[in-house]
A and B are shown apart, each in its own frame.
Chain A
Amino acid sequence: MTLQFDTFKSLVKEAAEKVIASAPELTALDQAIGDGDHGTNMKRGFEAVLSKLDTISAQPLDEAFKTIGKTLVMTVGGASGPLYGSFFLAAGEALSGKRLPEDLADVFGSGVNAVSARGRSHVGEKTMLDVLVPVLETLKADAGRDDLITRVRTTASEAVARTKPMQATKGRASFLGVRSIGHVDPGAKSSCVLLHAVCSTLEARQ
């Protein structure tokens, strides 16, 4: 698995398009336990990313990540802007001097740490971290395996499902207390959508 620039462009395009397409589902999940804007916010952010696709794909990878992060921060309009934005800004920072795919877990881990710091949140609180952290663990444990992409896909799906019985203790959903139980977390779902889009693009290139 080597990451070429044309692959990177398709990765960004596919991830953005999948998130935009899933906006109604993300909004429905957020209406159940949040304020109902996650889908429209993510759509606005990733439409802005798509509009910069040519600029982004012409940049060195670390700069491209930072451009994506800054674009999300400036356009999403909800807490998910700084959360996803911080992921890409930190991953971009971590990328300089690193190589992909060898250092993928390191780079991804820097992004996950930034999300945790920004949200002052940890795994088990019914947030996007409940997908990102298990995926990071898979990236570490299964690095170099031929079926890494399949494992990441499965990890993300299973991790989203596990947010359903959780009680939210962070974010707007925490206002609901026990009533947050029984709904999938919208941020966990959008993280899964993004990761699945990346997996599909990489699989199609293999």
Chain B
Amino acid sequence: MNDTVGIVIVSHSKDIAKGTADMVRQMVGSEVKVAFCGGNPDGGLGTNVSLIIDAINDAWSAKGVAILVDLGGAETNSEMAVEMLEPERRKMVVVCNAPIVEGAVMAATEAAGGSSLEQVRAVAEELTAG
């Protein structure tokens, strides 16, 4: 199976989310699916559960999806979005406890090698442990 874990980037700012996704694509290439979202439902700074759900579905892979977030509300809204997915998809999505830019690059690099969702998460979260 050639599938790789998908990466979702959720920031309060759409610019940060897009910039992070650009960096991932340049550094890791296009074999890993990367989706991003940022901004509240009015387009201001914040996060939006329905955009997060869309991003998860865009980045969907049979191996699952790893989400990288910036601050509190992005994490809470991402966890909410995961719970609102179809039941069989919920257990295949993780929210990583890692810095958003470094975490996304490390997670995507690991994903590109065909690693499992748990391996991808572990690599991203090593950044926090250090």
- Enumerate chain A interface residues (CB-CB to B < 8 A): 35, 37, 40-41, 44, 73-79, 81-83, 85-86, 118-119, 171-172
Contacts and interface: CB of A to CB of B under 8 A. Distances in A.
Contact of A81 (B42, B44, B80): B80
A79 B77 contact: yes
Contacts of A118: 76, 79-80
Contacts of B72: 79, 171-172
Given A82-B49, A172-B71, A172-B72, A77 B42 contact: yes
B76 A82 contact: yes
Nearest to B76: A79
A171 B79 CA distance: 15
- Which of B46, B48, B73 has the largest count of A CB atoms less than 10 A from its CB? B73
Nearest to B40: A77
Contacts of B47: 77-78
Given A37-B46, A73-B49, A74-B49, A79 B73 contact: yes
Q: Secondary structure of the A side of the interface? A: helix
B115 interface: no
Interface string B31-75: 000000000111011111110000000000000000000011101
A46 to B, nearest CB: 13
Contacts of B49: 73-74, 81-82
Contacts of A37: 40, 44-46
- Which of A73, A74, A78 has the largest count of B CB atoms less than 10 A from its CB? A78
A78 B46 contact: yes
Contacts of B76: 79, 81-83, 118-119
Given A81-B76, A81-B80, 8 more contacts: A37-B40, A74-B41, A77-B73, A78-B46, A79-B76, A81-B49, A81-B73, A86-B80
A77 B48 CA distance: 5
A37 B73 CA distance: 11
6 contacts: A44-B41, A44-B42, A73-B49, A81-B73, A81-B77, A118-B79
Contacts of A119: 76
Nearest to B47: A77
Contacts of B45: 35, 37
Contacts of B41: 44, 74-75, 77
Cβ-closest 4 pairs across A and B: A77-B40, A77-B46, A82-B80, A79-B73
Contacts of A76: 40
A172 B72 CA distance: 7
